[in-house]
């Protein structure tokens, strides 16, 4: 992989093979994809974008989003943003990334346009039905300029962490990080040119960009890109395009299970596997997915700072272990004490990682860099334990542990028990202030069918030590999640805890 960039990843596809398919829309072969990326890269170069410049992309999931991500990464740095942000959010992200160019679809992105700082070039981009990309801007172009080739150490992508407790940290991902990650994911799932990935994760997030898209390009396969995740059209789309796998967060898997309670849906028989990542998957949900859809489910562990994937359960016939996130995938994983000492197998501590896909440091954040890196290891902020076979079990985020009278309780353990009850669709446990214990265990649940709080607490008491049993359950209609479907445990706690 040494010396390779994202543009080299595109060379793995045969020229005439399909690379991107948009349902009821454009289709691009690998030759056409490479050509359109080159055209867009030249256009950005002619607008003055250079190696140190960042290009903000406010685009829905589409062929345009992929082409412009690759083009921006080739000539400068891509900075994809969530199109659903409000004006103040855009103002923060556009300033924090120091974007030089803002790319939006024609007539869309009003909040981003209003938030655009002075001096930023606005580009409207749209692909026609034949796969030709049109880019319009009021900024004069120097048409004599053409895009140069990026180096493997150049920053290709910047994304913000999704932390809810402090200012989001800016994560710079270099070409070499992303190329390594794409290779790790492709090899983990033995992706081949005849594999078809259904991309339902947003392309402003590392999960969609790397697992569904770049890993597929690394294998020379096809990415099917609907404009958004829709459980109503998911199975028809998967069936029509003969998708062999998809990757999603547990919230999406739950929505598919809720929509389909009967026979195996059309197209499911073509699935080679189902992947889950970016949030904890309960063993109960995994079992339901496999039973309902008839494909093996593999849970993976990823984060932005590692260009997405760090560990994954393997495909059959290798053992998949529900409740674990599998073994390291091209990444070394350790368990560390607060003092920075590595612990033996079976010990509980902070999960640390190192590998070619892991960032060197955050942008302009020496304080975070000082606390996040130790002796070449990156501290993930997750508590976990690793068995003798290298399978990693995550216990929870260190900052989310419940401290009841000195007893440290992992909220995920409570979640998993509540999820075993047939009436529970989602469950989120958290700590609530208590005058004697410091914190008490409570939980919010979304129900699939009627059940009383008393019944659920009794169910939990049969399966948990007394100090872990929730003393209060909140029945809610919905659990708040991030734009990428990750549960916001702290937001739940802030909304429901007594003020």
Residue predicted with more confidence, 321 or 406 = 321
Answer yes or no: is pLDDT of 403 > 90.
Answer: no
Whether 107 and 66 map to the same domain: the answer is yes
Fill in the DSSP letter of residue 257: H
Which residue segment(s) compose the domain that 486 sits in? 401-496
Q: How many domains, the chain?
A: 2
pLDDT for position 21: 98
Question: Distances in Å between the alpha carbon of 197 and those of 151, 237, 269, 490?
Answer: 28, 11, 15, 33
Instruction: Report the C-alpha gap between 210 and 222 in whole angstroms.
Output: 14
User: How would residue 407 be classed by pLDDT, with cut points 50, 70 and 90?
Assistant: confident
Q: Is the peptide bond before 310 cis (omega within 30 degrees of 0)?
A: no
Q: Identify whether the C-beta of residue 15 lies closer than 8 Å to the C-beta of residue 31.
A: yes
pLDDT in tens, 408-426: 787 888 988 999 999 999 9
CATH number assigned to the domain comprising residue 6: 3.40.50.12780
Q: Identify whether the C-beta of residue 153 lies closer than 8 Å to the C-beta of residue 175.
A: yes
Residue predicted with more confidence, 399 or 451 = 451
Boundary residue ending a domain (363, 398, 433): 398
Helix (H, G, I), strand (E, B) or coil at 491: helix
CATH number assigned to the domain comprising residue 426: 3.30.300.30
Which two tokens mark 10? 């595109």
Whether 391 and 491 map to the same domain: the answer is no
Boundary residue ending a domain (383, 398, 413): 398
Answer yes or no: is pLDDT of 274 > 70.
Answer: yes
Whether 325 and 430 map to the same domain: the answer is no
Whether 71 and 210 map to the same domain: the answer is yes
Whether 169 and 275 map to the same domain: the answer is yes
Whether 367 and 485 map to the same domain: the answer is no
Whether 304 and 437 map to the same domain: the answer is no
Mean pLDDT, all residues of the chain = 93
What average pLDDT does this structure show over 395-405?
80
Whether 282 and 416 map to the same domain: the answer is no
Residue 490 CA neighbour count, 13 Å, CB half: 12
Alpha-helical runs (H) found in 118-203: 175-188
Instruction: Report the C-alpha gap between 336 and 171 in whole angstroms.
Output: 23
Q: Identify whether the C-beta of residue 267 lies closer than 8 Å to the C-beta of residue 23.
A: no
What average pLDDT does this structure show over 426-446?
88
Residue predicted with more confidence, 483 or 211 = 211
Helix (H, G, I), strand (E, B) or coil at 161: coil
Whether 268 and 333 map to the same domain: the answer is yes
Answer yes or no: is pLDDT of 495 > 90.
Answer: no
Give the angle subtended at the CA of 217 by the CAs of 216 and 219, to the nearest 5°.
65
Whether 424 and 370 map to the same domain: the answer is no
pTM of this structure: 0.85
| Closest listed residue to residue 382, CA positions, set 393, 368, 367, 369 | 393
Question: Distances in Å between the alpha carbon of 206 and those of 7, 80, 172?
Answer: 18, 10, 12
Whether 136 and 262 map to the same domain: the answer is yes
Boundary residue ending a domain (398, 416, 436): 398
- Tokens 């606005």 appear where? 122
Note the residue count of the chain.
499
Which residues in 82-101 are b (16+ Cβ under 10 Å) and which e? bbebeeeebbebbebbbbbb
- H or E element in which residue 457 lies: helix 453-461
Whether 377 and 427 map to the same domain: the answer is no
């Amino acid at each position: 992989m040494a010396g390779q960039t994202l543009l080299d990843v595109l060379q793995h596809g045969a020229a005439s093979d399909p690379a991107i398919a948009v349902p009821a829309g454009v289709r691009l072969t690998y030759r056409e994809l490479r050509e359109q990326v080159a055209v867009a890269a030249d256009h950005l170069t002619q607008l003055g974008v250079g190696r140190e410049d960042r290009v903000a992309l406010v685009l829905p999931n589409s062929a345009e989003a992929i082409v412009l991500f690759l083009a921006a990464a080739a000539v400068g740095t891509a900075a994809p943003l969530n199109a659903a942000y409000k004006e103040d959010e855009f103002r923060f992200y556009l300033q924090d990334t120091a974007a030089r160019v803002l790319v939006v679809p024609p007539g869309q992105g009003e909040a981003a346009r209003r938030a655009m700082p002075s001096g930023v070039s606005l580009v409207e981009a749209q692909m026609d039905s034949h796969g030709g990309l049109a880019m319009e801007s009021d900024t004069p172009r120097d048409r004599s300029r053409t895009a140069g080739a990026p180096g493997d150490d150049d920053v290709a992508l910047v994304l913000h962490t999704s932390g809810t407790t402090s200012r989001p940290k800016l994560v710079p991902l270099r070409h070499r990080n992303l190329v390594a990650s794409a290779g790790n994911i492709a090899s983990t799932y033995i992706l081949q040119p005849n594999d078809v990935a259904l991309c339902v994760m947003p392309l402003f997030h590392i999960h969609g960009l790397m697992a569904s898209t770049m890993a597929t390009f690394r294998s020379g396969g096809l990415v099917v890109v609907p404009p958004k995740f829709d459980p109503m059209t998911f199975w028809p789309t998967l069936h029509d395009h003969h998708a062999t796998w998809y990757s999603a967060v547990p919230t999406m898997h739950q929505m598919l299970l809720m929509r389909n309670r009967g026979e195996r849906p059309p197209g499911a028989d073509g699935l080679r596997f189902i992947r889950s990542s970016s949030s904890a998957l309960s063993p109960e949900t995994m079992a339901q997915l496999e039973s309902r859809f008839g494909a093996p489910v593999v849970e993976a562990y990823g984060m932005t700072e590692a260009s997405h994937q760090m560990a994954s359960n393997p495909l059959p016939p290798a053992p998949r272990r529900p409740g674990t996130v599998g073994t390291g995938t091209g990444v070394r994983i350790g368990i560390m004490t607060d003092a920075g000492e590595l612990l033996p197998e079976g010990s509980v501590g902070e999960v640390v990682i190192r590998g070619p896909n892991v960032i060197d440091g955050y942008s302009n954040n020496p304080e975070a860099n000082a606390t996040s890196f130790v002796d070449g290891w990156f501290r993930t902020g997750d508590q976990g334990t690793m068995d003798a076979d290298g399978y990693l079990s995550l216990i929870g985020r260190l900052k989310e542990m419940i401290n009841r009278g000195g007893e440290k309780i992992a909220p995920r353990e409570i979640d998993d028990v509540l999820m075993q009850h047939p009436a529970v669709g989602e469950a989120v446990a958290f700590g609530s202030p208590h005058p004697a214990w410091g914190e008490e265990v409570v939980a919010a649940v979304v129900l699939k069918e009627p059940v009383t709080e008393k019944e659920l607490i009794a169910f939990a008491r049969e399966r948990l030590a007394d100090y872990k049993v929730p003393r209060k359950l909140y029945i809610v209609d919905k659990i708040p999640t991030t734009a990428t479907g990750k549960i916001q445990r702290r937001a739940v706690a802030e909304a429901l805890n007594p003020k």
